[in-house]
């Protein structure tokens, strides 16, 4: 088991702070992962994950995110993990948002997210 406490993972490639009208506000948004989680039984406590598209790639295994702040807009939490997000703040940073709530095309796939006591918030003041 790997445990992280009070870490910051930040994608600086195309966060909203770099997409301003002053520099042309390009909407050519590309995936840029802040963290990719493989393995099993990783735990994240009081951590921040900042990005725009594909912020947290919860790819494989069982993980626990508690008291975390996760910011993004398009598929900002995605993957095939079996994870618990507990008392987390999910900040939507655009008007357009897409959540990936783990769709499966077979009955044998065991990937799920549990969002327990999470707060969904939006700071889309840029648009």
Domain ranges of the chain: 2-19+32-122
Give the model confidence (pLDDT) of 40-53 as tens digits: 999 999 999 988 77
Rounded CA gap, 49 and 89, in Å?
10
Give the model confidence (pLDDT) of 80-119 as tens digits: 888 999 999 988 876 555 555 555 555 555 667 888 899 9
Catalytic positions, written as ranges: 54, 75
Rounded CA gap, 59 and 118, in Å?
20
Rounded CA gap, 29 and 94, in Å?
12
pTM: 0.76
**Band of the pLDDT at 23, cuts 50, 70, 90?**
very low
């Amino acid at each position: 088991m790997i445990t992280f406490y009070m870490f910051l993972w930040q994608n600086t490639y195309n966060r909203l702070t770099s997409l301003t009208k002053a520099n042309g506000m390009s909407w050519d948004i590309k995936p840029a992962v802040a963290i990719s989680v493989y393995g099993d039984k990783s735990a994240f406590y009081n951590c921040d994950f900042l990005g725009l598209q594909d912020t947290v790639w919860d790819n494989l295994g069982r993980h626990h995110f508690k008291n975390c702040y996760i910011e993004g807009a398009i598929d900002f939490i995605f993957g095939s993990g079996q994870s618990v997000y507990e008392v987390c703040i999910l900040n939507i940073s655009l008007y357009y948002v897409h959540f990936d709530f783990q769709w499966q095309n077979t009955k044998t796939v065991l990937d799920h997210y549990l969002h327990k006591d999470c707060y969904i918030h939006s700071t889309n003041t840029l648009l």
